[in-house]
Amino acid sequence: MQIYVVRPGDNLWSIGRRFGMAPGEIARVNKIPNPNNLVPGQTIVIPAQTAPHVIKAGETMWLIAKNRKIRVQEIMAVNPGVDPNKLRVGQIIQVPVVRGPARTIEVNAYIDPMAVPADPTAPVLEVGRDLTYLTVFSYHVTLTGDIVGPDDRAIVDAARSVGVSPVLVVTNFDGRNFSPDLAHAVMVEPQVKERLIQNIFVHLRSRGYYGLNIDFERVRPEDRQLLNHFLDDVANRMRAAGYPFSTALAPKTGDWQTGEWYGAHDYRAHGRAADYVVIMTYEWGWSGGPPYAVAPIDKVQEVLDYAVTAIPRKKIMMGMPLYGYDWTLPYVPGGPWARTVSPQEAIQLAAVHGVGISYDETLQSPHFRYTDGNGREHEVWFEDARSVDAKFKLVNKYGLRGVSYWVLGHDFPQNWLVLEGRFVVKKH
């Protein structure tokens, strides 16, 4: 796997000639939005090189994959149109060149069925081969201990069909924001807490979920110990029933960090209670704030520096964004919020407006500015192959359990190409 940055004057033919790969194949695997209009600064992922293989008598795709110690799916991916059940002696197919040993990690992705504009199962089926868990966002708690969730049956079935373990997420979201009052109410009253736990079990069993994720945010700092005890209770009950248990954590750089989003989150307590934790290392650049990288590498690293002192490394899932933002300038506090864009949309914007993409080496994040048809200037920050590769290096540097994506439904094919080039994804 190589990452190539488009230069002025490049086209797919010249890039293909450089790497010995067909231009059409480069466009296909990268899902390049504008194959005839590459953007300077755009990244292109060149997957592992392939080699020709002549089919011998008695050979099958399974036997070829076994002998080369690769997956049948990897061979099929580089042979579109080849029917594995109709191989002919003497037929030439392409097989991936076997790479060296790769580290095995776990990969989680959240999905909000209500936010996916079309079929919410489509992104699950598309990238399921690269996921360990699919965490369905979300079941909301009520003041009485009930939980209200999305229509999740099709998504859970889709996850199971591609070997992904579905995880039920429970939040204190009230439809507008995370509610400290809701969190307090379900944690402080023993009867309400017990009703909540029983309702969680009902949905875990009836929906066929693999595990549970608790994502309580904006909990009152004074409820910190109440939250810790609640997580201990839930963890013990889940573990006794055989369900893996995880939590979501705000990105802190020290236990001293307080405030409505941080104060109640006790890294050590979560690390003790949970089988794994998702640290939400994104949203430094957010839709209501000034233009900035969503997940700047220096900020992510500061959080990990602290996290590994409080939580076992084997339990830490580093958060990664699958999206960016498009701000209209000048930024005014309290003004219109930035528009969420996928990395593919960001590249299309740059191409349409004829601007190049810059890359901030300190933040390890791509960005650009453009002027729209009404004369308004915009600033876009997003993710590309370079920025995700920089984050993957942190996974190895800190020896983390894996990564967790927010959120499926934003088109970012290069992320999955780089992931497959760096790691083997664990399945349960």
pLDDT digits (tens, 9 = 90+) for 294-349: 999 999 999 999 999 999 999 999 999 999 999 999 999 999 999 999 999 999 99
| 335 within some domain | no
Range of the domain at 84: 50-98
Q: Are residues 256 and 291 in the same domain?
A: yes
Q: Are residues 107 and 90 in the same domain?
A: no
Q: Are residues 143 and 285 in the same domain?
A: yes
What is the overall mean pLDDT for the chain?
A: 95
**Is 217 a residue of the active site?**
yes
pLDDT digits (tens, 9 = 90+) for 353-367: 999 999 999 999 999
Q: Are residues 298 and 202 in the same domain?
A: yes
pTM for the structure as a whole: 0.88
pLDDT range class, residue 95, cuts 50, 70, 90: confident
Burial class (CB in 10 A: 0-12, 13-18, 19+), 369: middle
Per annotation, catalytic residue among 217, 283, 379, 383: 217
pLDDT value at 48 more than 90: no
Q: Are residues 30 and 74 in the same domain?
A: no
- Side by side, the strands of the sheet bearing 358-360 are 339-341, 324-328, 377-381, 365-371, 358-360
Residues with Cβ within 8 Å of residue 162, at least 6 apart in sequence: 124, 125, 128, 129, 131
pLDDT digits (tens, 9 = 90+) for 371-412: 999 999 999 999 999 999 999 999 999 999 999 999 999 999
Tell me the residue type at 395.
V
pLDDT at 99: 62
Q: Are residues 17 and 42 in the same domain?
A: yes
Q: For the domain that residue 60 is a member of, what is the CATH number?
A: 3.10.350.10
Q: Are residues 146 and 24 in the same domain?
A: no
Mean pLDDT of 230-238: 98
